[in-house]
């Protein structure tokens, strides 16, 4: 395996998902978010093919991923497993959120990163569930989608929000 910095440089050039806006489809902003938050433990809600997951795996001690890989996303589970098979700091929970988060004790993760369904109702449920298990940070992707924006504004304090170049967002879990 490549040294961490070399692999992160490669990941910045690889699309996270398809389709997507060019800038928000790459991990540069996510890497900046991780470096700022410096989480030891991460819960990622929604993993798709695992490009963002690999960024977390390279920069955190432990990563738990919650994703059902149902419906149109089923085809991506094999790619996810292949991409992450060499990492020993990963736990996969193949279930739907936010129900899957009920199995974790309160304040279990330094950072909870939400990138599941992007409609307002789903994003709202994920944010509410994340509030219970996040110790330091709540974050997510797609702050360029109306449903995500409305959910974040409805539950969190948007004036405390930090935005990143890939449409990721970050907020202190203690001061939301």
Q: Is residue 13 part of a domain?
A: no
Q: Is residue 109 part of a domain?
A: yes
- 62-66 sheet: strands from edge to edge: 90-93, 62-66, 41-45, 109-114, 134-140, 169-172, 162-163
Q: Is residue 36 part of a domain?
A: yes
Residue 64: give its domain's CATH number.
Answer: 3.40.50.150
Domain containing residue 35: 21-172
Cβ(124)–Cβ(51) under 8 Å?
A: no
Q: What are the residues facing 172 on neighbouring strands?
A: 137
Q: Is residue 7 part of a domain?
A: no
Q: Is residue 4 part of a domain?
A: no
What pLDDT shows up at residue 95? 96
What pLDDT shows up at residue 3? 74
What pLDDT shows up at residue 25? 78
Q: Is residue 10 part of a domain?
A: no
Look up the pTM and report it: 0.93
What pLDDT shows up at residue 91? 98
pLDDT along the chain (176 residues), means of 10: 82 74 76 97 96 96 97 91 96 96 97 94 96 97 94 90 94 82
Q: Is residue 142 part of a domain?
A: yes
What pLDDT shows up at residue 17? 74
CA–CA dist 98, 66 (Å, integer): 9
Instruction: Count how many domains the chain has.
Output: 1
What pLDDT shows up at residue 2? 64
CA–CA dist 172, 151 (Å, integer): 16
What pLDDT shows up at residue 72? 85
Give the C-alpha distances (Å, rounded to integers) separating 120 from 49, 117, 131, 143, 170: 23, 9, 16, 12, 18
């Amino acid at each position: 395996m490549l040294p961490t910095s070399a692999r992160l440089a490669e990941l910045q050039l690889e699309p996270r998902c398809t389709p997507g806006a060019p800038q928000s489809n790459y991990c540069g902003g996510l890497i900046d978010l991780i470096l700022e938050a410096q989480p030891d433990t991460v819960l990622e809600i929604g993993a798709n093919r695992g490009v963002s997951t690999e960024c977390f795996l390279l920069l955190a001690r432990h990563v738990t991923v919650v994703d059902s890989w149902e419906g149109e996303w089923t085809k991506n589970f094999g790619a996810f497993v292949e991409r992450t098979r060499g990492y020993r700091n990963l736990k996969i929970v193949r279930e739907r959120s936010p129900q899957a988060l009920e199995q974790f004790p309160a304040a279990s993760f330094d950072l909870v990163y939400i990138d599941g369904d992007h409609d307002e109702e789903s994003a709202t449920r994920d944010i509410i569930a994340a509030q219970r298990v996040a110790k330091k940070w709540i974050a997510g992707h797609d702050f360029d989608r109306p449903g995500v924006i409305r959910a974040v504004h409805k539950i969190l304090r948007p004036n405390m929000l930090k935005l990143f170049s890939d449409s990721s967002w970050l907020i202190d879990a203690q001061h939301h």
